[in-house]
Amino acid sequence: MLGLGAARLEADMNRLMALLFHQGVLDEQFMQLQQLQDESSPNFVSEVISIYFRESEKLLKNLRSLLHRADRECTDYRKIGIHLNQLMGSSSSVGAKRVRTVCLAFRAASEHNNWSGCLRSLEVLEHEYCYLKTKLHELFQMEQQRVMAAGARYHPLLS
């Protein structure tokens, strides 16, 4: 039985998850990722998401550098497309639906060599990425607090 604090944190986590799904920030792939977590790998989801964020930061940095060159006529749209495909794939794998959707629009702009469209898309992508990162960090903090409040070593991320 969960203590009062743990029960409150679990309810807060469920509300946050419902909000993220309702907003389209996450999709069912995130739920599938959670189902892979068990007692033998209690931090599986947070570890996978940490890797996703680490790799995504590199891709975003590369996209920024490709678009913020002094000579926009020399922009390498092929490389932009490669980075976007990587980011779309990893975003799909973790259930980052809105990040993936923005990547699709960004890729369309890059396929048309639309520099200003790419810049706008990068801005939106960075916003969506930061929102996702903030909310998942909040969710994982609540999970840690809930586990500590319950006085147990492991509980699934969500019931």
The secondary structure of residue 157, as a DSSP letter, is S
The secondary structure of residue 130, as a DSSP letter, is H
pLDDT above 90 (res 19): yes
pLDDT of residue 4: 62
Nearest residue to 134 via CA among 96, 104, 84, 88: 96
Interval 97-117: pLDDT, tens? 999 999 999 999 999 999 999
pTM: 0.88
pLDDT of residue 54: 97
By percentage, how much of the chain surpasses pLDDT 90?
74
The residues, any chain, with a CB within 8 Å of residue 3's CB and separated by 6 or more, are: 149, 150, 151
The secondary structure of residue 153, as a DSSP letter, is S
Interval 56-96: pLDDT, tens? 999 999 999 999 875 778 889 999 999 999 999 999 999 99
Cα 98 to Cα 71: distance, rounded to the nearest angstrom: 30
pLDDT above 50 (res 141): yes
pLDDT of residue 18: 96
Instruction: Name the residue with higher pLDDT: 77 or 3.
Output: 77
DSSP secondary structure letters along 29-90: HHHHHHHT-BTTBTTHHHHHHHHHHHHHHHHHHHHHHHHS-S-GGG--HHHHHHHHHHHHHH
Beta bridge partners of 26: 96
pLDDT of residue 17: 95
The residues, any chain, with a CB within 8 Å of residue 41's CB and separated by 6 or more, are: 47
